[in-house]
Amino acid sequence: MVARLVFVFLCLGSCGYLDSYGIVVAQEASEDSKPLVQKEMGDTDKPRIEGGSGKQQGGKNANQTMVQQWLRQMDKNKDQRIAWNESSGLMRKNFARVDSNSDGFLKINELAALAQRLVRNRGNRNRGNPRQRGNAANEVTDEQVRRSAGDQIACELNVPYREGHERWKLDLFRPVGEVDGLRPALVFVHGGGWIRGDKRKVLFLEQAIDSARRGYVCITVNYRLDASRVPCIKDVKCAVRWLRAHADDYQIDPQRIGAYGNSAGAHLVSMLGVSASNRELEGDGPFQDYSSQIQAVAASATPTRPMRRGEANPGLAAVAPITYVTKDAPPFLLFHEVSDRLVDIGHSDDFVKALTTAGATDVTYRRMTDGSGHAVFQKNRNAFQNEMASFFARTLRGKELARSAE
């Protein structure tokens, strides 16, 4: 087989971005453009009920949560303040701004003032964009989804792919009526730093409906929100197994399943593509006789390396896609932009290098230089959606389209 490796460097203009306090970077007020909150690995498949599980906290509690998180991450000597040499990432870059009395330490009152500004700014952004307030599921009703889908798309909404947790649900979209033969399927996984987001985020909901109009059976998936990432991985794998277990019900070809995700969702679909060898990541969910392996991956702004707070962390290797790269990796279509400050471009650079070095034969990399940053897919949406449609048609429907052309 002739190796298919495509590198594209594109420049469509430039626009820098950094919020007024220099700590939270966001190209637009979207769930997928917020900072990734990370912690050490830890997991249980049992449902967890805890504060902050994907819901935004407000006021004093949110301020205290942010301050305590910063202290846990950076206060190495536990003196309840952060010295410059203890700081990291954007906190270090903007240390002088936060250090209001210029004494070389970020004390609790200075951190609290920073947290208050960030919470206030987040609220201002959300008031300007009603789609971003609260949980997206509260914004997009079943009726709105069905109205968007229209009469030619059958919708099955809030279908549980396992029992026992409110997040173990998916929405399914498929063309009305039966066809001769089997259909390919696509899985859409939302982002949000593994700690927020919903399957009805507009970016994914619209793509799922549009793809169903193209002849795919599509699901958008919710998963448990956990910064360790392990429950997230186990849940999306369970959703793929559910899809295969119900292939006969929806005329799905179980050997033609692809997936798309952005940011944290890109990480999760990449894990679907490469980590089938790690049985522990399958979790204890149902349908264990079915595979969670997918046959094509499209991903944008993808975290691929074992990183924590911008630094290498070997303890996260088990949840890093780059750990599992082999020559048998499925086709990948990757989008990333060089100015991304939330997920450094090196994640995709290194991942593509690892794939090609291992002998993977189908890798397409759109390495953008247009200043779109972490919002690379949103800012180039029309062009990328068209390319993604062509990618999935080639990798999942090639033989089917060839037969129809005869």
Give residue 218's pLDDT.
Answer: 98
3-state secondary structure 94-120: CHHHHCCCCCCEEEHHHHHHHHHHHHH
**In terms of domains, do 216 and 365 share one?**
yes
Contact between residue 236 and residue 204 where contact means Cβ atoms under 8 Å apart: no
Is 166 a domain residue?
Answer: yes
Q: Does 56 or 86 have the greater pLDDT score?
A: 86
CATH of the domain at 342: 3.40.50.1820
Residue 142: its H or E element: helix 142-149
In this prediction, residue 285 carries a pLDDT of: 97
Please report which confidence band the pLDDT of residue 133 belongs to, taking 50, 70 and 90 as the band edges: very low
Q: How many CB atoms lie within 10 A of CB 161?
A: 25
pTM over 0.85: no
- Is it the case that residue 403 has pLDDT exceeding 90? no
CB neighbourhood size of 155 (10 A) = 18
Q: Point out the domain boundary residue: 78, 97, 132.
A: 132
pLDDT number for residue 45: 53
For 97-106, what is the mean pLDDT?
A: 85
Residues 242 and 365 in one domain: yes
Residue where one domain finishes, among candidates 105, 132, 159: 132
CATH number for the domain that contains residue 101: 1.10.238
Q: Are residues 107 and 215 in the same domain?
A: no
pLDDT at 314 over 60: yes
Distance of CA 395 to the CA centre of its chain: 22
Provide the pLDDT for residue 351. 98
Q: Are residues 305 and 194 in the same domain?
A: yes
First to last CA, the chain: 24
Q: Is the pLDDT of residue 268 over 50?
A: yes
The mean of the pLDDT values for the chain is: 83
C-alpha distances in angstroms, 72 versus 69, 79, 97? Answer: 5, 11, 21
- Report the number of secondary-structure helices (H) and strands (E) in the chain: 13, 13
Return the pLDDT at 62.
66
If asked whether residues 312 and 375 sit together in one domain, one would say yes
- Say whether both 328 and 395 belong to one domain: yes
pLDDT for position 66? 86
Residue 261 placed within a domain: yes
Domain identity same for 244 and 161? yes
* Average of per-residue pLDDT across 21-36: 33
Ranges 112-116, 156-160, 223-227, 326-330: which has the least confidence: 112-116
Q: What is the number of structural domains in the chain?
A: 2
Residue 126 shares a structural domain with residue 200: no
Boundary-marking domain end, from 78, 105, 132: 132
Residue 236 clears pLDDT 50, i.e. is over it: yes
pLDDT value at 261 more than 80: yes
Q: Could you tell me the pLDDT band of residue 215, with boundaries at 50, 70 and 90?
A: very high
> What pLDDT was estimated at residue 117?
86
Higher pLDDT, 21 or 49: 49
More confident residue, 399 or 316: 316
Residue 276 included in any domain: yes
Same domain, 312 and 396: yes
Task: Report residue 280 as tokens.
Answer: 């522990």
| Residues 393, 354 share a domain | yes
Flag whether 16 is in a domain.
no
Task: Indicate whether 94 and 173 sit together in one domain.
Answer: no
> Distance of CA 321 to CAs 280, 303, 341, 384, Å?
15, 8, 20, 22
Which region among 73-82, 282-291, 345-354 has the lowest average model confidence (pLDDT)? 73-82
The answer to whether residue 65 sits within a structural domain is: yes
Distance of alpha carbon 321 from alpha carbon 342, whole angstroms: 17
- Per-residue pLDDT of 179-207, as tens digits, reads 889 999 999 999 999 999 999 999 899 99
Residues 303 and 221 in one domain: yes
What are the angstrom distances between the C-alpha of 80 and each of 26, 72, 370?
Answer: 29, 9, 41
Which stretch of 128-142, 332-346, 351-365 has the lowest confidence by average pLDDT? 128-142
Structural contact between residues 119 and 34, judged by C-beta atoms closer than 8 angstroms: no
Query: Does residue 344 lie in a domain region?
Result: yes
d(CA 219, CA 204): 10
Q: Say if 332 falls within a structural domain.
A: yes
Asked if the structure places residue 352 within a domain, the reply is yes
Residue 77 lies in domain: 56-132
Beta pairing, strands 81-83 & 105-107? antiparallel
